[in-house]
Amino acid sequence: MQTEQVAQKMKVVIGLGKTGLSCARYLASRNEKFKVLDTRKNPPGLQQLKAECPGVELELGEFNAQTLNNAAQLIVSPGVDQKIPVIQNAIRQGVSVTGDVDIFARSIAAPIIAITGSNAKSTVTTLVGEMAKTEGIDVAVAGNIGLPVLDLLQQPASSLYVIELSSFQLETTTKLAAEVATLLNLSLDHMDRYSTMEEYREAKLRIFQGCQQAVINDDDLLCQPELPANVRQWHFSLVENSAAEFSLLNLDDGQYLGFNKQPLMSVREMKIAGKHNVANALAALAVGHAVGFSIDAMTTTLKSFSGLPHRCQWVADRNGVDWYNDSKGTNVGACIAAVNGLGGDLGKGKIILLAGGQGKGADFSPLAYPLSTYVKLAILFGEDAALIDQAVNGSVMTIIVSSLEEAVSIADKKADKGDVVLLSPACASFDMFNNYEERGEAFVHHVGELH
């Protein structure tokens, strides 16, 4: 009788959306019986699920404890917090939890490069993928950057997988065993999900579980895991005299990306701007070197890579003022990186910063010092504009406006030749936009409409 009950148990996908849909697609391709749960009555991907998996069992609305307790396994989407009591209760009853990344890692034979960080993970993931292509490797790039990893299993197998992972994805990841893993940087983010910075860090550090090689940021103590002695480590740093294999070199004719204190290429040859992007380049070089990419292939890629949309993306030059779209800067750390990165090249007080939105419970006070150094005016908008204004506490001149369009208009009037206008919101976009992409596109549109 007990065996019969086990046989009737189904796997349960919790949370639809892009990842949940890919999990359902994967289970259906294996003819497995499963249910899909979502608290939303009309979650994204619902119509596509019904079209691709006709007859699939759906439970929409408040989670049913009995469904979870009787599940063969819970496959939890990144947007769903495992700390929800009904999920915790099912775990206590012995129901196992997994996620799409673990399922993917068990299903492939090729090596995985796994990349996480509070900021820049999409840039470094893309860079490493482009380096692999230049090297002539059959590579697939997926994960938090766009394509859900399980959708890769519907495609011909690749020789190498480069995967961007968020802390939410890593919460359900236990068997990744990446060939190379890296945590690029760590700053306060998602404090609406994590109770402490240490809890957030612990989620990020899961990326190193079972890895063969690790790439370590020597400039960020929070990114340095305790690793077994058999894990090969490669280090990167912006500090010239550091012991890192990949570091920034200051030579007579300028700054260079270096390997073991030998120059590889001039920073001036890179298309992506700012000190934060120098760190990204060094990280990508370290990751690529770990898996055997040639220096030539990597530097060739760095000379042609122009960056990603919404990530410190150059938009326009208006009357000698450069405009940059960093709408992907959805947390305080990202905003600081952009301000310091551009400000270090420009000098003091040359940036007009556009910031604001939903702060996700963040502490904005770390913005005060970089803004006081490099920003001459902060134009604040959105739900938490007043909180940012309060946190920077007079360290920089501020104006609070009611819309992004108004922010762009005022920035245009206040900017002088040689200045930079930077949209780097330090916040999520959901108070005014559907996502950061829509916010960035609105910014580009408003800049284009200026007369």
446 is annotated as an active-site residue: no
Q: In this predicted structure, what is the pLDDT of residue 189?
A: 77
- pLDDT tens for 252-282 read 999 999 999 999 999 999 988 888 899 999 9
The whole-number average pLDDT for the span 201-213 is: 97
Given the residues 35, 190, 275, 328, select the one marked as catalytic: 190
Q: In this predicted structure, what is the pLDDT of residue 308?
A: 83
The whole-chain average pLDDT of the chain stands at: 94
319 is annotated as an active-site residue: no
The whole-number average pLDDT for the span 331-345 is: 90
Q: In this predicted structure, what is the pLDDT of residue 341?
A: 87
The yes-or-no verdict on residue 345 having pLDDT over 90 is: no
The whole-number average pLDDT for the span 353-358 is: 98
The yes-or-no verdict on residue 114 having pLDDT over 70 is: yes
Q: In this predicted structure, what is the pLDDT of residue 311?
A: 85
Q: In this predicted structure, what is the pLDDT of residue 6?
A: 45
The whole-number average pLDDT for the span 327-340 is: 92
- 101-115, 212-226, 324-338 — which is least confidently predicted? 324-338
The yes-or-no verdict on residue 346 having pLDDT over 90 is: no
Calpha distance 335→338 (Å, rounded) = 5
Q: In this predicted structure, what is the pLDDT of residue 241?
A: 78
Of 311, 305, 314, 309, nearest to 285 by C-alpha is: 305
- pLDDT bracket for residue 322 (50, 70, 90): very high
Given the residues 119, 144, 185, 277, select the one marked as catalytic: 144
Query: Which residue type does 27 have?
Result: L
**DSSP tag of 394:** T
- pLDDT tens for 93-106 read 999 999 999 999 99
Q: In this predicted structure, what is the pLDDT of residue 192?
A: 82
Domains, in order of start, for the chain: 10-98 (3.40.50.720), 102-304 (3.40.1190.10), 313-449 (3.90.190.20)
The Cβ of residue 9 has, within 10 Å, a number of other Cβ atoms equal to 13
Q: In this predicted structure, what is the pLDDT of residue 1?
A: 38
The yes-or-no verdict on residue 74 having pLDDT over 90 is: yes
289 is annotated as an active-site residue: no
Q: In this predicted structure, what is the pLDDT of residue 163?
A: 98
- 189-198, 259-268, 365-374 — which is least confidently predicted? 189-198
Q: Is residue 161 helix, strand or coil?
A: strand
Q: In this predicted structure, what is the pLDDT of residue 7?
A: 46
Given the residues 11, 35, 119, 121, select the one marked as catalytic: 121
Q: In this predicted structure, what is the pLDDT of residue 279?
A: 95
- pLDDT tens for 121-165 read 999 999 999 999 999 999 999 999 889 999 999 999 999 999 999
